[in-house]
Structure 1
Amino acid sequence: MVSKFIVSFFAIAMISSGAIAQEQAAPAEAAPASVPAEENMLHLDLSTGGRVTIQLFPNLAPNHVDRIKTLARQGFYDGIIFHRVIEGFMAQTGDPTGTGMGGSELPDLKAEFHAFPHLRGVVSMARAQGDDSANSQFFIVFYPRFALDKKYTVFGRVTEGMQYVDAINRGEPPATPSRILQASVAADGKAPPVAGAFSPIPEKEITVDDLNAPINP
């Protein structure tokens, strides 16, 4: 019994050492190239006076982020108006017809609902009645709107230039619509369409009462 145990022990040891040697001899896989931070940042140059920077969330909504970046790089959003802007709620854009009924020629997206809340400055995908009907339209939230959570796909949040979002003309549609002059991925390094033409708008001070105010879309 003892001799059998010793033989088995040495056999296992030899197999294990061989496996370790093979593992050490195998070439290590190349680490995936890191994506520059600017690749997941979107710039919107607005007619309200300046550049809005949006941090995209590819880890939460990869397909929606890819769609927005694809359309931005195609120039799809350049010149499109904000066709539905509700005070105390949100500003919606992304429809080339300006009616709220249009979209891109790309297929509609499968929903990517998740737990990130609709806070001030959040950018979320608009859709029709079906969950999987988002295409090109999106909206930027003025004030928290938690009733939308897990019903619309959040794909980013404004990190700079929210004052230019606050200045978007209200209406459904507005009498004089504000528009996206240019949408671009930050990694592409596009300058604003007319350098130096924007007049600064001071950042609006948001109070606790503002954040807790009821929203009546």
Structure 2
Amino acid sequence: MSTLKLAATFALLASPALATGLKIEVAGEGANGTIVVDLFEDVAPQHAARITDLATKGEYDNVAFHRVIEGFMAQTGDVQYGDTAADYDARYAGRGGSDQPDLPAEFSDLNFDRGVVGMARSQNPNSANSQFFIMFDEGAFLNGNYTVVGKVTEGMDVVDAIKRGHRQSGAITGAPDVMKKVTVTE
């Protein structure tokens, strides 16, 4: 086992017990309400731990839904450039991550169906960090190529109301909808 994998394994074992979900308070021009997500610690333990850690630290609070494509998904979680309470600049939202290293892929046989939460990444399968997306509809082309980290259990009506972006790029015009407060649930 490589030193990097060994260190990651020890870090995961040393971390506190993983929570079972998130409560996301959303506000904006489109959506207002609560989304509840069940995190799949047994399917994607490192990704679920990362999201839990960032939420516990309050790093997801005030982060924009920066890429939202009708019939596909709503993406958020850029804690570096997506914080609307800081110097938010939509031109950079979606380019950042957290101050933690990228994660190795945890692909599974779970399908990207409506309400599934997946980890966003670059072309490199091992580049997921803090950003995630919620599916509006089924996206079979993502199956086995992106990490499934959870599923919405309440609040799909709120997800459905998130302000849509440009038809192809998903870029938001004007003020984006925002995760005002993200808390970890047991």
TM-score (norm 1): 0.68
What is the alpha-carbon distance in structure 2 between the residues aligned to residue 42 and residue 82 of structure 1?
Answer: 16
Counterparts in 2 of 1:159-174, with a 5 A limit? 159-171=153-165, 172-174=170-172
Moved over 2 A (4+): none
Superposition deviation, residue 126 in structure 1: 0.2
2:63 is equivalent to residue 83 of structure 1: no
2:68 is equivalent to residue 69 of structure 1: no
Structure with the bigger RCO (C-alpha within 8 Å, sep 6+) is 2
What is the alpha-carbon distance in structure 2 between the residues aligned to residue 49 and residue 135 of structure 1?
Answer: 26
Partner of 2:116 in structure 1? 122
What is the alpha-carbon distance in structure 2 between the residues aligned to residue 186 and residue 131 of structure 1?
Answer: 28
Bigger fraction of residues in strand: 2
What is the alpha-carbon distance in structure 1 between the residues aligned to residue 103 and residue 25 of structure 2?
Answer: 25
| Greater gyration radius | 1
Partner of 1:32 in structure 2? none
Match of 1:40 among 6, 20, 32: 20
Superposition deviation, residue 152 in structure 1: 0.4
Partner of 1:182 in structure 2? 181
What is the alpha-carbon distance in structure 2 between the residues aligned to residue 60 and residue 180 of structure 1?
Answer: 25
TM-score (norm 2): 0.79
Bigger fraction of residues in helix: 1
What is the alpha-carbon distance in structure 1 between the residues aligned to residue 97 and residue 148 of structure 2?
Answer: 18
Equivalent position SS for 1:163: helix
Residue identity over aligned pairs, in percent, reads 49
**What are the ranges of 5 or more consecutive residues in structure 2 without an aligned counterpart?**
1-15, 83-92
2:129 is equivalent to residue 135 of structure 1: yes
What is the alpha-carbon distance in structure 2 between the residues aligned to residue 74 and residue 42 of structure 1?
Answer: 13
- Letter of the 2:20 partner, please give it: N
Aligned residues: 152
What is the alpha-carbon distance in structure 1 between the residues aligned to residue 103 and residue 160 of structure 2?
Answer: 28
